Amino acid sequence: MANFEDLYREIILDHYRSPRNRGELTTPPAVLVEGFNPLCGDEIALYLDVDDGALVNIKMMGHGCSISQASASLMGAAVKGRPIATVRDTIETFKQLMTEHEATIEHDGRPAQVDLRALGELAALQGVVKFPVRIKCAMLAWNTLTQGLDQVAA
């Protein structure tokens, strides 16, 4: 177990250096939604292609700290091609992961109440809860995605 933390750091760095789903979607009916985290200067732009109740494609542009950009990349990989209901479930689960308080983190560093297996690589971001100022960085892409989905549904 020594090396959950190392493994997680590797995953975050990998997504930061080689962000997945980078780019833009220009063909309608892609939705463009942008988010900004003034505390850190992180920016994200998401292009969402929603069709027949599924997020058929997602592309993103942005810049900022490693946590914000890695979180966006991990998010894209987790939600692309999924039904909207599943995407919203994943957003909820991730939010839970980010709102666990330190008191609930077990001795091995894992939050007690979130099913990490369901999160896959997203679990790599769990360490962020220990640094409250970075939670907004990690949540930026997710909050932006929620806005985008609400826009599509409206």
Q: Using CA atoms, how far apart are residues 83 and 80, in angstroms rounded to an integer?
A: 9
To the nearest whole angstrom, how small is the minimum distance from the Cβ of residue 137 to Zn ion?
3
To the nearest whole angstrom, how small is the minimum distance from the Cβ of residue 1 to Zn ion?
28
- The reply to whether 42 sits near Zn ion by the rule CB under 5 A is yes
- The reply to whether 135 sits near Zn ion by the rule CB under 5 A is no
- The reply to whether 137 sits near Zn ion by the rule CB under 5 A is yes
Q: Using CA atoms, how far apart are residues 68 and 54, in angstroms rounded to an integer?
A: 25
Number of residues that bind Zn ion (CB under 5 A): 5
Enter the tokens of residue 65. Answer: 């700290």
- The reply to whether 146 sits near Zn ion by the rule CB under 5 A is no
CA neighbor of 141 nearest in space, from 85, 63, 53: 63
- The reply to whether 25 sits near Zn ion by the rule CB under 5 A is no
Judged by CB under 5 A, the residue of 45, 65, 77, 152 near Zn ion is: 65
> What is the DSSP pairing of strand 54-63 with strand 31-37?
unpaired
